[in-house]
Structure 1
Amino acid sequence: MCAIVAGMSVEPTAWQRPGPTAEQRRNDVVVGVAVAAVAQLNLVLSTSAGVFFGDDPPSRPEQILWTLAITLPLAVRRRWPAAVAIVISAAFIAAQVRHSPEQQVTNGALCSAIYTVGAWGRDRAQARWARIGIIAAMFAWLAIGIAQTAADLPADAFPDAAGPLEPLLAAIVNGVLLNALFFGFAVFVGETAWISARRQHLLEVQAEELRRLAAEAGERAVMGERVRIARELHDVVAHHVSVMGVQAAATRRVMDKDPAKARTALAAVEQSARTAVDELRRMLNLLRATGGAPDERPSGSGVDHLDELVANARDAGLTATLGVYGEALPLPESLSQAAYRIVQEAVTNTLKHANASAIEVRVRYHAAELEIDVTDDGRGAPPGAAAGVGLGLIGMRERVAAHDGTLTAGSRSGGGYRVRARFPLAQSPAVLA
């Protein structure tokens, strides 16, 4: 018994079980009244059968009063569990002192009260000490009753005793064991109910946390998808629209002086528009596709198509060159697309902002690195301009970071602007050997 009571403090926690709901309080009232009615019926049956504990039973009104005092408090047992348990235990001992004959139902009421303290006591320290105090009082009363009974026992009190133990010792051990089992069961079941409620609370908290994390993950996924779509739209549209703008401006300038050149520029504008529409259509089809890889690249957007970007820049009036150095290696599609988009954005920025006359694109294949270098002879970045604040530069940095690479972008000391991206390459076993 002591081990069970002492074990109640093994799992200290700041959690408090919520009080009973309105429906539970109504159920308690119904149960309390029903138990009181059953106790009154049992009292009538016990007295009618002549079952009395002691030689001087109290009057019938007093018997009814003690029975109600022990059972009716169950009507509020979950609202004030410790107070109800103390009242019932005190009334129980007092009823036994007065030799009240009803003890079957009242024993059940006492067990229910001790259980409720363990299952519903919000203050765990109070619940623990209330049960310890009640059980200690009950065993003290048991000891007093055993002492009084032993003192009044006649010599022939156990005429039919035939066991190996002394009859009085056997009776004492039997009473102590039965009470220990009675109170131990009430304590154990109450503590188990409280632990079960606490675990249910923890499961609900964890479920809510999982729902919150899932919602956050969904929001991040949506945001990431929006950023990816915005980056793709910027890369696909901005380049071709910029080329179209430059070519349209050139057409306007030479339309009257050189109609043949104007027609050539207009044809280039038309081709750029068709290319932009085709790339937009491919990208939208990819976004609509189910299960498509986010980095799946449409045709015409890899390092093997950089010559088309250079040709577009040349058609827009720039002196554009492309140089590939080192032994070309097969690249992952996502890396090839990232390199293409970086060159595309650099060419677009040169056309829109640099007022340049020449642009040079270099692709270098090193042993463990792919280097993309784009330079122009334009005016460079304005003095005091923050580096990497434009949407294009932000998109380039995101693409490079996604492949664990590095990006440098800024004005050159001799004039013009440079964009340089370095991507690490996975080495083959033969190279590593």
Structure 2
Amino acid sequence: MAQVNDDEPDWSRWRRPRPTARQRRNDAWVALGVMAGALFTIVVVNSMGALAFGTAPSLGEQLLWGAAVTLPLVVRRRFPLVVLFAVGALFILAQAHQIGDNFVPSLALFLAIYSVGAWERSRVVARWARVGVIVAMFCWLGVALAALLLDPGQFPAVGGPLDPVLSAVLYNLGFNLMFFLSAYFFGEMAWLAARREAELEYRADQLRRSQEENTRGALVSERVRIARDLHDVVAHHVSVMGIQAGAARRVLDTDIDLARTALDTVETTARTAIGELRGLLGVLRAEPVDRDRAAGSDGAEHVASPGLDQLPELVERAASPELAATFAVFGEPYRVSEGVALSVYRVVQEALTNAVKHAAARTVEVRLRYLGTGIEVDVTDDGRGPSGPGREPGSGLGLLGMRERVAVHGGELETGPRRDAGYRVRARFPHPAGSAER
């Protein structure tokens, strides 16, 4: 079928599929039924003496003509044009020989015209073939009516208001006009119904594919979100615990107080990590309705959801004897959405993780700025940079997760080495008009 564009077929050029094996079998049974009806009717009308044309050939010849007119219907859906022309020609020849029955042959002609309208794949051919056959039938009717006009005396005297010959002409013209228009109309309707059914099946298939793609996209997004949250929670807290445990081990024999402080930080960090993991797992295990209540529009969990107020504590936990971490706020603070607050927290958390785990930094500075256009967070360190010598390679998931979190809110993320030394992570989160409460 021709395509209007890459997605939508041109339904005006739709072609009906070939008949199925079951439909071909049904055609055979219909043809046999019509043939049996034709033979039975010929026998009955001959037995009654109610012959359609007053006289008729022998019964055997009539039976042969009845079988010949109806037999082509066996392949009416496979070869509709051939059947139409064959039945039309045999119909005229049968009438010319004045067989006793005219009803069943007319039924066969009706089915042939209908089948072309319903099954011929070329609509132009279907239209003109039917018109041609109908015109031919009216021409044949005209021949019969002309013979009637030449012999008007065959009509007995009646009491109707119209002339008998005129009445016969009007009756035959009206009946045949209704007969052929009905065959044409019902065939056309059958073809249109089949096209609508094909269009509905196409739309249903497109809808199913779209739903499957949406489902796959939702599953991928959910996996990415879970992986991002797990990475943020686990990587940061484990890195901090590792640094603090290492510091405690190194000063255990020389500075008990400092070692105790480091171990307290390890314990606090572990508890915080467990709390955040429980909150995350609680959202994942919840039913869909409960999950919607426990999650924000960006998928951020509301259970144990950290925000801007926890940034000082986050930076403080990252500090150790080997890493000096500072936090500063600039501008007049105002409220932001929970989703933005969580994303800012996660960006800072990932940046600190990178500074602790990968950059071998000595100092890290976190600056939170409240601007008129939104909120900005800036994390800088003096480490080796993303590819410095001795730097432990990372998976790259952290930077990807930060970009995804910032992109959700329409923000911007800048990452890269500083001019002098170290690395910088800067994220800007614009707030919608009127969303900030000053």
TM-score (norm 1): 0.90
SS of alignment partner, residue 375 of structure 2: strand
What is the aligned counterpart of 1:395 among 394, 401, 406? 401
SS of alignment partner, residue 254 of structure 2: coil
Aligned to 1:424: 430
Which runs of structure 2 are paired with 1:135-146 in the superposition (5 Å)?
135-146=134-145
Aligned to 1:110: 109
Aligned to 2:146: 147
Aligned to 2:33: 34
The one-letter code of the counterpart of 1:199 is R
SS of alignment partner, residue 122 of structure 1: coil
- Are the aligned partners of 2:359 and 2:384 in contact in 1 as well (CA < 8 Å)? yes
Q: State the 1:53 CA deviation.
A: 4.3
CA deviations on 1:275-330 (whole Å, 9 max, x unpaired) are 21221111101111223222233435101100111111224642221111222111
For 1:203 and 1:263, locate their aligned partners in 2 and report how far apart those are by CA, in whole Å.
Answer: 72
- Are the aligned partners of 1:296 and 1:333 in contact in 2 as well (CA < 8 Å)? no
In structure 2, the gaps of 5 or more residues are: 1-9
SS of alignment partner, residue 283 of structure 2: helix
CA deviations on 1:123-171 (whole Å, 9 max, x unpaired) are 33332232122111101101111112212333x84632642x5543332
The one-letter code of the counterpart of 1:360 is E
For 1:300 and 1:43, locate their aligned partners in 2 and report how far apart those are by CA, in whole Å.
Answer: 90
Q: State the 1:255 CA deviation.
A: 3.1
Q: State the 1:48 CA deviation.
A: 1.9
What is the aligned counterpart of 1:160 among 151, 158, 161? 158
The one-letter code of the counterpart of 1:254 is V
SS of alignment partner, residue 364 of structure 1: strand
The one-letter code of the counterpart of 1:401 is A
Matched, 1:52 2:51: yes
For 1:374 and 1:149, locate their aligned partners in 2 and report how far apart those are by CA, in whole Å.
Answer: 107
For 1:120 and 1:301, locate their aligned partners in 2 and report how far apart those are by CA, in whole Å.
Answer: 68
Aligned to 1:8: none
- Are the aligned partners of 1:247 and 1:266 in contact in 2 as well (CA < 8 Å)? yes
What is the aligned counterpart of 2:244 among 247, 257, 261? 247
Structure 1 pair 27–300 and aligned structure 2 pair: CA distance change class (3 A): closer
Q: State the 1:51 CA deviation.
A: 2.4
Larger CA deviation: 323-332 vs 220-229: 323-332
For 2:305 and 2:147, locate their aligned partners in 1 and report how far apart those are by CA, in whole Å.
Answer: 104
- Are the aligned partners of 2:249 and 2:259 in contact in 1 as well (CA < 8 Å)? yes
Aligned to 1:82: 81
SS of alignment partner, residue 363 of structure 1: strand
Structure 1 pair 302–313 and aligned structure 2 pair: CA distance change class (3 A): same
Structure 1 pair 254–47 and aligned structure 2 pair: CA distance change class (3 A): same
Structure 1 pair 66–173 and aligned structure 2 pair: CA distance change class (3 A): same
- Are the aligned partners of 1:404 and 1:424 in contact in 2 as well (CA < 8 Å)? yes
Aligned to 2:377: 372
Structure 1 pair 296–46 and aligned structure 2 pair: CA distance change class (3 A): same
The one-letter code of the counterpart of 1:175 is N
Aligned to 1:280: 277
Larger CA deviation: 331-340 vs 374-383: 374-383
Aligned to 1:334: 339
SS of alignment partner, residue 354 of structure 1: coil
Aligned to 2:350: 345
Structure 1 pair 376–55 and aligned structure 2 pair: CA distance change class (3 A): closer
SS of alignment partner, residue 420 of structure 1: strand
Aligned to 1:210: 207
Structure 1 pair 12–330 and aligned structure 2 pair: CA distance change class (3 A): closer
CA deviations on 1:86-117 (whole Å, 9 max, x unpaired) are 21111110011111111112111111121111
The one-letter code of the counterpart of 2:187 is G
Q: State the 1:56 CA deviation.
A: 5.1
Aligned to 2:186: 189
Query: What is the percentage of aligned positions where both structures have the same residue?
Result: 49
Q: State the 1:224 CA deviation.
A: 0.2
Which runs of structure 2 are paired with 1:260-299 in the superposition (5 Å)?
260-290=257-287, 291=289, 292=291, 293=295, 294-299=299-304
Cα RMSD (Å) = 2.5
- Are the aligned partners of 1:77 and 1:84 in contact in 2 as well (CA < 8 Å)? yes
CA deviations on 1:382-411 (whole Å, 9 max, x unpaired) are 3799xx982111111111111111111111
Larger CA deviation: 166-175 vs 40-49: 166-175
For 1:36 and 1:212, locate their aligned partners in 2 and report how far apart those are by CA, in whole Å.
Answer: 47
Q: State the 1:260 CA deviation.
A: 4.1
CA deviations on 1:186-216 (whole Å, 9 max, x unpaired) are 1111111111111111111111111111011
CA deviations on 1:307-365 (whole Å, 9 max, x unpaired) are 11111122464222111122211111001000111111111111112222111111111
Larger CA deviation: 43-52 vs 340-349: 43-52
- Are the aligned partners of 2:31 and 2:74 in contact in 1 as well (CA < 8 Å)? yes
Aligned to 1:405: 411
For 1:113 and 1:142, locate their aligned partners in 2 and report how far apart those are by CA, in whole Å.
Answer: 18
- Are the aligned partners of 1:368 and 1:427 in contact in 2 as well (CA < 8 Å)? no
Q: State the 1:429 CA deviation.
A: 9.3
For 2:61 and 2:226, locate their aligned partners in 1 and report how far apart those are by CA, in whole Å.
Answer: 85
Matched, 1:63 2:69: no
- Are the aligned partners of 2:334 and 2:437 in contact in 1 as well (CA < 8 Å)? no
Matched, 1:225 2:231: no
TM-score (norm 2): 0.89
- Are the aligned partners of 1:321 and 1:361 in contact in 2 as well (CA < 8 Å)? yes
For 2:269 and 2:70, locate their aligned partners in 1 and report how far apart those are by CA, in whole Å.
Answer: 91
Matched, 1:22 2:28: no
Aligned to 2:177: 180
Q: State the 1:377 CA deviation.
A: 2.0
Aligned to 1:4: none
What is the aligned counterpart of 1:361 among 329, 348, 366? 366
- Are the aligned partners of 2:51 and 2:100 in contact in 1 as well (CA < 8 Å)? yes
The one-letter code of the counterpart of 2:353 is T
SS of alignment partner, residue 13 of structure 1: helix
Q: State the 1:82 CA deviation.
A: 1.9
